[in-house]
Amino acid sequence: MKGDSSLKSTKFVKEIKRENCKYEIAKLKSLIKWKLSFGKNRKKREFSHSIFNDDYYWEREDPNALPNDYYFKPTDILLYDLIPKQNLKETKKGLIRLFKKCLTHKYMSAYGSEENVEKLISGLDQTLHSGNSWYNVGIFDFAYDIELDSFIEHFDIHVRNFSSSYAVIEMKVTLSDSLCNEISDFIQTQYKKPGMCVHENWTQDSKRKSGAKIGYGVSSGTMDEYAKSQIIYEQIEFVKKLFLHEIKKYFPLMIYGREKNILGINIFETNIKPDLRLEPSIYMALGLDEMYGFNLSIAERLYISTATIRWRDSSPTDMMYIYNPSWMESNDGYGTIHNKMVYEFTRGHMDYIYKIIVLKNLGLQFWNLVTEYRNKVNAITSKKSSQKRLLKLKYELSKDFYDFNKITEELPFDKTIEHAKRILEKNGYATSSVCYGRHPYELFTDNPEWIWSQVKNNYTEIESDLQRKIDISSELTAFAREKSNRNLTVAQLLIAIVTLVLMIFPGKAVSIADWIRTLRTHICQLFAR
């Protein structure tokens, strides 16, 4: 992974290639215009083309390689998703298929039978509270898939209770040594984003008194350290998506099952000491922003998000858990320091943190969903003909937000947040992590609460607006129906009067019939022409 040629073809890698291609096309166009122009225009075009010849001007020397004897490498990905307990039968079938197809042969371990799967499912089904009970399912791999097996050494499955109607599936994905080393080598070396970037912008049109035309500006584009961070992040994201796509075949995942992204926790191992003061560009290249990181112990640090190119402006990014094995005295029978740290993280800290992560994932999903429904409601006018569409939309809104309302009712949301906050407040390492006068762990606990409150407020507003439009549409329909009934009554009255007249004067009926027959003949002749 020392050069772009070895990178997975992820979104940003493709974006770099598109940038370079666009730059070369603009450069060629500028050259052709210069060479084919004459007189004053030639001098102007030559000057304009000169911006493409000053690539050296944009060179920067900020380091993003790690100093010698230091390393920073990914080891695992930790993921959480919900399983509705109404789908526990489907979950049971998935677990049995998972054992039959994916039980790892890489490690010697004792596993239960189908009876144990039945006990697990029954235990979840009979739980009527949101306690922290959890079940160790087993260790699995994708030996049957060459691509997945090359990226993933194995994965662990645990099932946790979440509420009376939902269970959490915890998935710890251990990356293969080859992938870890590949990314680690890339992190170790200095990275220079290849090529240049051309920007289209409005410029004054000299041929007119006013108005603009498209011009070009040139730069190196994304800074090297940000580009490096983005590439590292997307390499891990690539594996995460492959895993979720495959595991979805075995479990009825609620969040990812709706083709939504899941924010996970990327686990890194490093020997960089907290008191080491590296260049800011190096930390940025690693995706580390101290505004979003806090310590859990002397050897552990948790980052709420990964610093990538646009993480502050666009979709949230995965969290980062970083541990330093050099600060640990022994592995205490865990085999390796890595096993001990990951176990203590998942079975210790995550016991009170995992619900916050799940709530944030769910909140972001419903955040996007409520935005979609706001646009749908705004797009429908309060017309008589819109009543069916509005009623259908109301049904779809209630259906899609069923889980949101259900979890809001079942889970003591405020208590869950407060519980995590209290534990972190008692952690001296977390409280000693301060950046710009604020504790980053407070961002971690407050963010899900804020997201859910915004979703709840917007949902209530959309529901009310939708109901108002339904009421107006219903009133218009009722008015139209009343008008139609009035016209029908008048028509019925006229028919009754005509009938009465014909009964009193039967001779008139023959004359009327002849008149109708003559009128029909004339109409037929008219259309025959």
Which of 209, 225, 241 lies at the terminal end of a domain, its last residue?
225
Which of 203, 225, 247 lies at the terminal end of a domain, its last residue?
225
In-domain check, residue 480: yes
Q: What is the mean pLDDT of residues 430-456?
A: 88
Range of weakest confidence among 38-47, 278-287, 434-443, 465-474: 38-47
pLDDT band at 2 (very low <50, low <70, confident <90, very high): very low
Non-local (6+) Cβ contacts of 356 within 8 A are 416, 417, 420, 444, 445, 448
Among residues 236, 238, 232, 237, the alpha carbon closest in space to that of 188 is found at 232
Which parts of 130-211 are beta strand (E)?
A: 134-140, 152-161, 166-175, 197-204
Q: Give the C-alpha separation, 181 to 430, whole Å.
A: 30
pLDDT band at 1 (very low <50, low <70, confident <90, very high): very low
Yes or no: say if 224 and 193 are a contact pair by the CB < 8 Å rule.
yes
Q: Coil, helix or strand for 424?
A: helix
Mean pLDDT (the chain) is: 84
Angle between helices 413-425 and 350-379 (to 10 degrees): 140
In-domain check, residue 501: yes
Distances (CA, A) of 296 to 4, 20, 263: 35, 43, 20
pLDDT band at 20 (very low <50, low <70, confident <90, very high): confident
Q: Coil, helix or strand for 233?
A: helix
Look at the chain and report how many structural domains it folds into: 2
- What type of residue sits at position 210? S
Q: What pLDDT shows up at residue 5?
A: 44
Q: What pLDDT shows up at residue 350?
A: 87
Q: What pLDDT shows up at residue 324?
A: 93
pLDDT band at 259 (very low <50, low <70, confident <90, very high): low
Q: Give the C-alpha separation, 402 to 170, whole Å.
A: 23
Per-residue pLDDT of 194-217, as tens digits, reads 888 887 777 777 677 787 777 777
In-domain check, residue 519: yes
Q: What pLDDT shows up at residue 287?
A: 93
- Does 427 or 33 have the greater pLDDT score? 427
Per-residue pLDDT of 111-125, as tens digits, reads 656 667 777 777 676
* Region of 223 on the Ramachandran plot (φ > 0 left; ψ -120 to 50 alpha; else beta): beta
In-domain check, residue 327: no
Q: What is the pTM of this model?
A: 0.84
Per-residue pLDDT of 98-109, as tens digits, reads 988 998 888 766
In-domain check, residue 87: no
Q: Over the range 437-461, which residues count as b (16 or more CB within 10 Å of their CB) and which as e?
A: eebbbebbbebbbebbeebbebbee
Q: Which of the 8 DSSP states describes residue 103? A: B
In-domain check, residue 101: no
In-domain check, residue 67: no
What burial class does residue 151 get, using C-beta atoms within 10 Å of its C-beta: 0-12 exposed, 13-18 middle, 19+ buried? Answer: buried
Q: What is the percent of the chain with per-residue pLDDT over 90, rounded to a whole number?
A: 32
Q: Give the C-alpha separation, 416 to 362, whole Å.
A: 15
Which of 225, 241, 271 lies at the terminal end of a domain, its last residue?
225
Strand partners, 216: 200
Query: Where in the sequence is the domain holding 509, given as residue range(s)?
Result: 476-528
Pure H helices in 152-223: 177-188
Non-local (6+) Cβ contacts of 233 within 8 A are 266, 287, 306, 308, 317, 318
Among residues 6, 437, 12, the alpha carbon closest in space to that of 181 is found at 6
As a residue count, the chain comes to 529
Q: Coil, helix or strand for 104?
A: coil
Q: What pLDDT shows up at residue 41?
A: 79
In-domain check, residue 205: yes
Q: What pLDDT shows up at residue 396?
A: 92
Per-residue pLDDT of 68-78, as tens digits, reads 889 999 999 99
